């Protein structure tokens, strides 16, 4: 039986806005790093090396899960406001045009560069685009058209539609007397607060050691089951957390412990990644690292949420600008990085010169692109913006995330 939720009226969560901005920002820098590391990617620097890989690997377990968690919070607020049918219609209107436009126009140049780098196509963007746009799964090693980095938007869109009919049930569960009591208990008792760390780790560990070995991450919507399980788990966690003030206060209480675990796990994992060859030869070391990675992925999210609740609660023009701009930045950034990186790689520059230029070009290109997009009405909805620009975001009651 569900009870009235006394925490149902929340003001805008600036801390979650900032976390969303930070997560997308790190993702942009991560993709710049992919141009320079030794892993396969759409384009590569001739000076590619493994110097940044341990740090990049440390960011991989939690960036997108954090975004899905924040998205789950936003889904709760928006679905409560609109109801299931209007929520599904809103997500279709807001996300599907981004996916379609992104695949056929934003991502296409990335595929062109990748196929040119592999020697699969001759120069000529127009000829390539005919095959890319009008031949489903064209005659290349890459499935076309593709969504590349926009997989997050695709998955969030699908999850939103799948969850929409279940909102009445999910709302009753999230606002049930038992869930509200659990929130109050974890907020008031230090031992109970540890459950905020331990309980979500159970599904994450199960997914890692059951689904993940058979379904490595591919971003293929129909064959990416471990990734779906992880991502949907984070969405549901965000949904449950959203209006339960007890759980948020429990995160505040558990912050020192989560922080210590995070720092300890990060040091161990960095050491492991820096000594990867001997680590894979030692089963005890390797299994400890596998478990530590899952623990780290959750405790760093808890730590960041807790720290944001302390230090990132203020508003201002920077937050308002970036809250609107960061999603178009995310849509644009990888194409700018891939195309600019491909052009720079033929100039014979040093790797640090390439890196600095690529950061400047990517950041500058995103900023200029956003300023253009926001002023052109027909581009706004296909780049994740509302049709008209609001005068102020101060009065909006819930976190805006896509």
Per-residue confidence (pLDDT) for residue 5, from 0 to 100: 52
Residue 138 has pLDDT above 90, yes or no: no
Q: Write out pLDDT tens, residues 372-384.
A: 999 999 999 999 9
Name residue, tokens 């796990």: 265
Residue 393 has pLDDT above 50, yes or no: no
**What's the rounded Cα separation, in Å, for the pair 75 and 77?**
6
* Residue 61's pLDDT band (cuts 50, 70, 90): very high
**pLDDT > 70: what percent of the chain?**
94
Residue 399 has pLDDT above 90, yes or no: no
In whole angstroms, what separates CA 398 from the centre of its chain?
19
Q: Write out pLDDT tens, residues 2-17.
A: 444 544 455 678 999 9
Per-residue confidence (pLDDT) for residue 218, from 0 to 100: 94
Averaged pLDDT, 302-329: 96
Sign of the torsion formed by the C-alpha atoms of 148, 150, 152 and 154 = negative
Tokens (6 digits) for 11: 């003001």
Q: Write out pLDDT tens, residues 36-47.
A: 999 999 999 999
The secondary structure of residue 102, as a DSSP letter, is I
Asked whether 17 and 30 are in contact (CB, 8 A), the reply is: no
Find, among 23, 24, 92, the residue nearest to 334 by Cα: 24
Across the chain, mean pLDDT equals: 93
Per-residue confidence (pLDDT) for residue 357, from 0 to 100: 98
Q: Angle between the 317-345 and 351-373 helix axes, to the nearest 10 degrees?
A: 130
Q: Write out pLDDT tens, residues 215-273.
A: 999 999 999 999 999 999 999 999 999 999 999 999 999 999 999 999 999 999 999 99
* Residue 388's pLDDT band (cuts 50, 70, 90): confident
The gap between the terminal CA atoms of the chain, to the nearest Å, is 31
Per-residue confidence (pLDDT) for residue 346, from 0 to 100: 86
Residue 394 has pLDDT above 60, yes or no: no
CA 227 vs CA 230, 300, 333: distances in Å: 5, 19, 23
Looking at per-residue confidence, does 292 or 3 come out higher? 292
Residue 125 has pLDDT above 80, yes or no: yes
In whole angstroms, what separates CA 83 from the centre of its chain?
25
Per-residue confidence (pLDDT) for residue 3, from 0 to 100: 45
**What's the rounded Cα separation, in Å, for the pair 195 and 188?**
12
Burial of residue 140 (CB within 10 Å: 0-12, 13-18, 19+) is: middle
Which pTM does this prediction carry? 0.92
The DSSP bridge partners found for residue 2 are 176
**What's the rounded Cα separation, in Å, for the pair 74 and 13?**
10
Find, among 354, 374, 350, the residue nearest to 362 by Cα: 354
Tokens (6 digits) for 379: 């581009």
Per-residue confidence (pLDDT) for residue 211, from 0 to 100: 97
* Residue 400's pLDDT band (cuts 50, 70, 90): very low
Asked whether 38 and 198 are in contact (CB, 8 A), the reply is: no
Q: Which residues touch 82 (CB under 8 Å, ≥6 apart)?
A: 90
Q: Write out pLDDT tens, residues 19-33.
A: 999 999 999 999 999
Averaged pLDDT, 321-332: 97
Asked whether 125 and 132 are in contact (CB, 8 A), the reply is: no
Averaged pLDDT, 194-221: 96
**What's the rounded Cα separation, in Å, for the pair 169 and 74?**
17
Per-residue confidence (pLDDT) for residue 389, from 0 to 100: 73
Per-residue confidence (pLDDT) for residue 11, from 0 to 100: 66
**What's the rounded Cα separation, in Å, for the pair 32 and 385?**
24
């Amino acid at each position: 039986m569900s009870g009235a939720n006394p925490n149902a009226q929340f003001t805008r969560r600036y801390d979650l806005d900032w976390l969303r901005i930070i997560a997308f920002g790190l993702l942009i820098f991560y993709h710049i790093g992919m141009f320079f590391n030794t892993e396969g990617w759409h384009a590569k620097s001739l000076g590619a090396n493994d110097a940044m890989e341990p740090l990049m690997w440390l960011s991989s377990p939690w960036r997108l899960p954090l975004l899905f968690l924040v998205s789950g919070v936003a889904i709760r607020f928006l679905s409560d406001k609109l109801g299931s049918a209007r929520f599904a219609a809103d997500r279709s209107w807001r996300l599907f045009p981004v996916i379609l436009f992104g695949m056929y126009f934003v991502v296409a140049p990335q595929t062109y560069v990748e196929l040119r780098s592999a020697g699969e196509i001759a120069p000529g963007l127009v000829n390539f685009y005919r095959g890319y746009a009008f031949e489903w799964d064209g005659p290349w090693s890459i499935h076309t058209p593709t969504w590349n980095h926009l997989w997050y938007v695709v998955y969030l869109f699908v999850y939103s539609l799948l969850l929409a009919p279940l909102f009445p049930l999910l709302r009753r569960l999230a606002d049930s007397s038992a869930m509200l009591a659990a929130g109050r208990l974890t907020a008031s008792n230090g031992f109970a607060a540890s459950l905020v760390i331990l309980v979500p780790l159970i599904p994450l560990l199960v997914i890692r050691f059951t689904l993940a070995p058979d379904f490595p991450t591919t971003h293929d919507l129909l064959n990416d089951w471990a990734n779906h399980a992880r991502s949907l788990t984070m969405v549901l966690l965000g949904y449950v957390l959203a209006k339960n003030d007890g759980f948020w206060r429990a995160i505040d209480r558990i912050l020192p412990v989560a922080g210590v675990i995070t720092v300890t796990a990060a040091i161990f994992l960095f050491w492991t990644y820096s000594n990867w060859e001997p680590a894979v030869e030692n089963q005890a070391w390797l299994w400890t690292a596998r478990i530590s990675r899952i623990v780290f992925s959750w405790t760093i999210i808890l730590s960041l949420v807790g720290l944001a609740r302390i230090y990132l609660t203020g508003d201002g023009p920077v937050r308002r600008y970036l809250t609107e701009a960061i999603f178009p930045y995310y849509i644009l950034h990888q194409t700018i990085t891939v195309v600019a990186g491909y052009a720079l790689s033929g100039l014979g520059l040093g790797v640090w010169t390439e890196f600095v230029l690529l950061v400047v070009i990517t950041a500058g290109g995103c900023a200029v692109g956003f300023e253009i997009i926001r002023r052109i009405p027909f581009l706004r909805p296909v780049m994740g913006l509302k049709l008209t620009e609001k005068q102020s975001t101060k009065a909006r009651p819930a976190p805006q995330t896509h």
